[in-house]
Amino acid sequence: MLTTNPFTEEHELLRQSVRKFIEKEITPYVEEWEKNNICSRDVFRKMGEHGFFGVTFPEKYAGSGMDFWSAVVITEEMAHANIAGLAMSLYAHTYLPLPLINALGTEEQKNKYLAPALKGEKIAALGITEPGAGSDVAGIITTAKNMGDHYLINGSKTFITNGTMADFVVLAVRTGEDNLSLLILDKETKGFSAIPIHNKLGMHTSDTAQLFFENCKAPKSCLIGEEGHGFYYIMNNFQEERLLAAVTGTFIADWALKKAKQYTMERQAFGRPISKFQVIRHKLAQMAVTVEACRSISYRAVAEFIEKGSNAVEIVTMAKAFTSEECMKVINDALQLHGGVGYMEDYGLARAWRDARLLTVGAGTTQIMHEILGKLILDEVNYQNNLQKRQ
C-alpha cells in the first residue's frame, strides 16, 4: 500500500531527462504534427535511443529493469506537456503489444520484435478493436485458419493506434469457434493493408487506422503464447493500459489547473485580478480537490498493481473510471475560467479538452468499467455471504 512519496532519486533523474527531451525533441514539432494528423517516425527512434520505451522491461531486451513508477514518471511528463496524441502513440507502442511479447513470447519473438521496438527501430501496434467488437472482445470475428504450416488471416480492425506506421501488429484473432489467439503479423505481409482515420475530435498527433487482412499468410512461429488463450491474455494486459490512462487524465487535469491558477491571477476585470472574486477562488478550490482525488486513486492503483499484478483489477478499474470522467470536469472548468481565450487554440486548453475526451472511451468505456466493478462488488458480497453460512 502507498504511504509515502513513491518516487526515488532515480525516478527524479529520469523525470529531468524526459522533461529535457520533450523540450528539445517534441514541443517544437507538436503543432506541425497536429496539422498533419501524424507524428514523425523519428521521435520513436529518439525515444528508443534514450531508453524511454524500455524503462520497465528487462535489460536483456534493451530495457532498464526499473519498476512501474518509472512508466508513471514518463506519463506524467507527457501529460504536463499537453501532447496527449503523441503520448497515446508512444504508449500504444510500448504498453499494449510489447508486454504480451515480453510475458508470453519465445526468445526468437523477443529478439526479433521486442528488442528492436524498445530501441525504437520498429514501431508496434495492438489490433483488437473491430467494427462490430469494441469493448466486447469475445465478439471478435477476424479469423486465423490453421492451414498446417501457417495461419490464413481474414478480417479487419479499426481505431488502431499506430496502424499505418507500425512495422508489426499483435493481432487478436479467432482460431476456432470458441478460441481467441494472439499472433504477430509483419507489415510487409501480402494482403495486409492500412487506411488512416483522420476525422477525429482529438488526439490528432496520434496515427489511427483501419486494418484489413485478405488471405494473409502468417507462419506458425507468429503465435504468442498458447492457441486459444488469447481472451485471458488480453484481459490481463488491459491493466497497464488503464493505469496509464488514469495517470494521463490526472496530469492533464493538473496541467489545466496550473494554467487556470496562473491566468486568473493575471486576468484583470472590474479593477482587480479575477482570482480575487470568491466564485473564482471556490472553483479553483474545487478543481484542486478533484485533481488530488485523481492523483490519490491513481497512485494507489499503481502501488497495488506493482504488489498484486492482475489481482489489482478492482482498484485499477476504479482509477480508470473515476479519473477519466473527473479530469474532463477540471479541464472544462479551466477552459471556462479562461473565457474567450480558452476557446482559442493558442492557449492549449482546447487541445487538452479534445484529447482528454477519449479517456472515457479508450481502454474500455466508463460504462464497461462500471460493469466490471459491479460484478466484482457483487462477487465479493456473495463470497462474504457464503462464508458466513459456512461458519
Annotated catalytic residue, options 130, 241, 304, 326: 241
Pairwise CA distance, residues 127 & 100, whole Å: 12
Instruction: Identify whether 266 is a catalytic site residue.
Output: no
141, 183 contact by CB (below 8 A): no
Pairwise CA distance, residues 133 & 15, whole Å: 38
Backbone angles phi, psi at 152, to 5 degrees: -110, 110
**What radius of gyration, in Å, describes the C-alpha atoms of the chain?**
22
57, 98 contact by CB (below 8 A): yes
Number of residues written out for the chain: 391
Name 182's Cβ contacts closer than 8 Å, sequence gap at least 6: 100, 104, 170, 171, 172, 173, 223, 224, 225, 230, 233, 234
Look up residue 66 and give its DSSP letter: -
Name 111's Cβ contacts closer than 8 Å, sequence gap at least 6: 61
Name 224's Cβ contacts closer than 8 Å, sequence gap at least 6: 100, 101, 104, 105, 109, 170, 181, 182, 183, 184, 233
350, 84 contact by CB (below 8 A): no
Query: Which residues are tagged catalytic?
Result: 241
